């Protein structure tokens, strides 16, 4: 089984929530530190990250079979 890849920073509450869930479920994951708002190589505004999540928001959770992106809820 390939480990999940979590993109974000631990000081982000949504990223911490996903980390806690993965740890609770004992699911292996790799954390890729991504600088919010940065256009640098590990930044959320870098084209490589924007290809994963065009909204440049955290968290992003990826695997071979799963692709969860942070999205804004639509107003009802």
pLDDT digits (tens, 9 = 90+) for 2-25: 688 999 999 989 999 999 999 999
Q: Which of 14-23, 28-37, 58-67 has the lowest mean pLDDT?
A: 58-67
Long-range contacts of 16-23 (CB under 8 A, 24+ apart): 18/59, 18/61
| Residue in 71, 54, 66, 52 with CA at minimum distance from that of residue 7 | 52
The token duo for 55 is: 């909204």
Can you tell me which residue has the tokens 């949504």? 14
Give dist(CA 76, CA 8) in Å, integer: 28
Give dist(CA 6, CA 18) in Å, integer: 8
């Amino acid at each position: 089984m390939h480990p999940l890849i979590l993109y974000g920073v631990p000081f982000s509450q949504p990223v911490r929530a996903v980390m806690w869930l993965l740890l609770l479920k004992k699911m292996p994951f790799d954390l890729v530190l991504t600088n919010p708002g940065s256009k640098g190589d590990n930044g959320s505004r870098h084209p490589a990250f924007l290809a994963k999540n065009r909204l440049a928001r955290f968290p992003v959770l990826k695997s071979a079979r799963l692709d969860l992106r942070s999205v804004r809820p639509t107003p009802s």
